[in-house]
Amino acid sequence: MNERKWLKREGTRWVEKGLIEENQFEDILSLYEGRKSNNLLPILASILIGLGILTFIASNWSEMSNLLRFTLICTGIIGFNLIGMNLVQKGSRTLGTAWIGMGTLTFGAGIFLVAQMFHIVSYNSTAFIIWLGIGLLTYYVFPNKYIYLLTLVIGSAGMIYSAISFQSFSFFLAILVVGGIGILTFKENEPLFYYFYLSAVTISSITFHVAYDLMYVWMTLFFLFMYAVNEFLQHEKGKNAFKNMSIVGVIVVTFIHVFVLDDMIRYDEEILSKPIPYFAILLLLIGAITLVKVKRQSDRNWIDLLLFLPLFLVGETAGVLYLLLAFGYSLSILVQGYKVEEPMLINRGTFLFLISTLVAYIQLAWDFLPKSMFFLAGGILLFVLSWYLEKRRRTWFHESKGGQS
């Protein structure tokens, strides 16, 4: 039992016996408000025990009758949840939540096992929709970060499974992932959880592109939309996550352009034949971002919008232009970092410049150099660049401190 639970129970008795006043008890209790146990071993232990039980059952599954199988599944679901609820009520919230999580996992496994038992064939993601729905309900009853992460994994797995197995996109599952888990994300308001959530949303977008056989260039608009959401958010943690994930995503797309865009344009002219819908969405999003920036008088980060330029419309030389754009953006981040004396921007610009150099080197030298010379020369080039940039960064840091080391 954690300290606060014990103190709350015992303190009530102290007040009833007149040992302390009510306001004194509240003051003492407030001292333990933010203290939580960070011991993850109970969670890992319960997961291993649960997996051991499920593995034992699975190894003897073929020898069991359907009635016994169904009984074991129901017993596992009810048993894990009852153990978890009992532990939570006793104050062992971390351990109890772990067992409740095992109940949620057993429920998901039970869906697929029951379908196998009764030869139920499904060609959609209904099983994951039900599973994720139970996960969301579990979170609302027992709000916990572990349950949150569990629902995120279930939703992401469902989107991937649907795209790979059925070549389809489940809009209902996507609503649960983007909307349902999104509500939980803003409720938790943890920086790391925003990144987990946006990774799941990005996976959903990728599966949509795969299911409908869309060109990957449309992902640029997805990341631009994510960047636009950042401009409208009030929560600073959420704003940073949306902005950083959108920039990382569009930079990845930029590097993909460098490697495959020329060949794609050469063999697939559809990308150039119908640019109007793409342009309409692009201008709408950029217009919304511009209005918000002007209204809030935000004079920084206008350079970010250059990353979303549709340079692929230029034709076969677009790959080179995207490479130059990556170099230009990294240098602008470096200059901005030195200007405002912000080490984070300097490190970000340095890293991006090195990655851009590596991409350029691979693109230009792979077909012309022997492979041994390719790796050797590339390693030397990156070593020299990293040494120079690090020296420049240390010099700037030394000067910014007034010459003090």
Q: Rounded distance, CA 96 to CA 178, Å?
A: 28
Average pLDDT over residues 363-383: 57
Least confident residue range of 49-63, 208-222, 243-257, 372-386: 372-386
Q: Which residue has the higher pLDDT, 154 or 397?
A: 154
Residue of 256 and 344 predicted with greater confidence: 256
- What integer is the mean pLDDT of 112-135? 85
Distance separating alpha carbons of residues 193 and 241, to the nearest angstrom? 9
What is the amino acid identity at position 163? A
* pLDDT for 200: 93
Residue type, 364: L
pLDDT band at 302 (very low <50, low <70, confident <90, very high): confident
Q: Is residue 31 part of a domain?
A: yes
CA distances (Å), origin 124, targets 54, 55, 319: 25, 27, 38
Handedness of CA 166, 168, 171, 176 (dihedral sign): positive
3-state secondary structure of 288: helix
Classify residue 91: in a domain, yes or no. no
- DSSP, res 180: I
Tokens of 362: 């691979």
Residue 347 lies in a domain: yes
> pTM score, two decimals?
0.75
Residues 305 and 334: their CA atoms lie apart, in Å, by 17
Whether 282 is covered by a domain: the verdict is no
Supply 131's token pair: 């599973």
pLDDT band at residue 285 under the 50/70/90 scheme: very high
Q: Looking at the 3D structure of the chain, how many domains does it have?
A: 2
Question: Which pair of structure tokens corresponds to residue 289?
Answer: 């971002």
Q: Among 297, 202, 298, which Cα is nearest to 241's?
A: 202
Nearest CA among 257, 170, 169 for reference residue 218: 257
184 located within any domain: no
Question: How far apart are alpha carbons 379 and 385 in whole angstroms?
Answer: 10
Residue 117: predicted pLDDT: 79
Contacts of 107-115 with CB under 8 Å at 24 or more apart are 107/77, 107/131, 107/134, 108/134, 108/154, 109/54, 109/73, 110/73, 110/74, 110/76, 110/77, 113/61, 113/69, 113/73, 114/70, 114/73
Cβ(127)–Cβ(112) under 8 Å?
Answer: yes
Measured CA to CA, the distance from residue 216 to residue 89 in angstroms comes to 50
Asked whether residue 149 is domain-assigned, the answer is no
Please, which pLDDT band fits residue 352 given cuts at 50, 70 and 90?
confident
Provide the token pair at 184. 């939980």
User: What would the two tokens of residue 17 be?
Assistant: 């016996």
Residues 6+ apart with CB under 8 A from 55: none
To the nearest 10 degrees (0 to 180), the angle between helices 93-117 and 66-89 is: 170
- For residue 176, being part of any structural domain is answered with no
Residue 263 scores a pLDDT above 80: no
Q: Which two tokens stand for residue 31?
A: 């001292």
Is 126 exposed, middle or buried, given 0-12, 13-18 or 19+ CB atoms closer than 10 A? middle
Residue 91 DSSP code: T
For residue 8, is pLDDT > 60? yes
Q: Give the range of the structural domain holding residue 391, as residue numbers without chain letter.
A: 317-405
Q: What whole-number distance in Å separates Cα of residue 121 and Cα of residue 143?
A: 34
Q: Is the pLDDT of residue 158 over 50?
A: yes
User: Is 337 within a domain?
Assistant: yes
